[in-house]
Amino acid sequence: MALRAGIGDHAVHLCVDMQRLFSMDGPWPTPWLERVLPVVAKVVETKPERTVFTRFITPTTAEDMPGKWREYYCKWRDVTQDRIDRALLDLVPTLQKFAPPAPIFNKFVYSAFANGDVHRYLRERRITDLIVTGSETDVCVLATVLGAVDLGYRVVVVRDGVCSTSDKTHEAMIDMYSSRFSVQIELAEAEEVIDAWRLCR
């Protein structure tokens, strides 16, 4: 697929959870992360001042979370902040140098839009278009993309800029984005997105 329209000055690059937590150093390694990182970095470098980073932040203890999240962190106790090296919650080093100027929004659930902070930030700046990269295609990227769709944003998923621990579900989500959500979600390669964005002053 390709972009259906240009990318103008009402666009922001939303980079989801590219953290050490999901690198090969972390407890939830996503092997693809290292492969897509150069692509993501190129998109960030295009307009770092128009990039927004999110970080998935684990609770201090499992008991700090409600409902099924508590059960989830009972399973993954080694990633709670009372046990984990908190530096693993940071962005991967390649991207850290871009923040600032790029802001970082922390979240405790999958979607970047769950608590309203990112949406408020974007609306204050009259952002209508989102270029999405990050980890993982079938979890936090999925939840964030659907949240953006619900809020009416134009969503462009950078096909070679998202990653997962599972090839099967990654491909399934890419297929779903392009079929079930073909009106609301666009898929494009990073080079096409970068070329289109560079035309915007």
Element (H, E) at 104: strand 104-107
Report the C-alpha gap between 133 and 163 in whole angstroms: 8
The strand ranges marked E within the chain are 11-16, 51-56, 104-107, 129-135, 154-163, 185-188
Residue 200 has pLDDT above 70, yes or no: no
Residue with tokens 């409600």: 66
Answering whether pTM is above 0.85, one says yes
Closest residue by Cα to residue 39 from 191, 155, 187, 167: 191
- The model's confidence at residue 1, banded by pLDDT at 50, 70 and 90, is low
Q: Is 120 inside any structural domain?
A: yes
Question: How would DSSP label each residue in 123-165?
Answer: HHTT--EEEEEEE-TTTHHHHHHHHHHHTT-EEEEEEEEEE-S
Q: What is the mean pLDDT of the chain?
A: 94
Residue 201 has pLDDT above 60, yes or no: no
Tokens representing residue 33 in the block:
């992360």
Q: Total structural domains in the chain?
A: 1
Q: Is 80 inside any structural domain?
A: no
Q: Is 153 inside any structural domain?
A: yes
pLDDT in tens, 127-183: 999 999 999 999 999 999 999 999 999 999 999 999 988 889 999 999 999 899 989
pLDDT in tens, 59-110: 999 999 999 999 999 999 999 999 999 999 999 999 999 999 999 999 999 9
Residue 2 has pLDDT above 80, yes or no: no
* CATH number of the domain bearing residue 49: 3.40.50.850
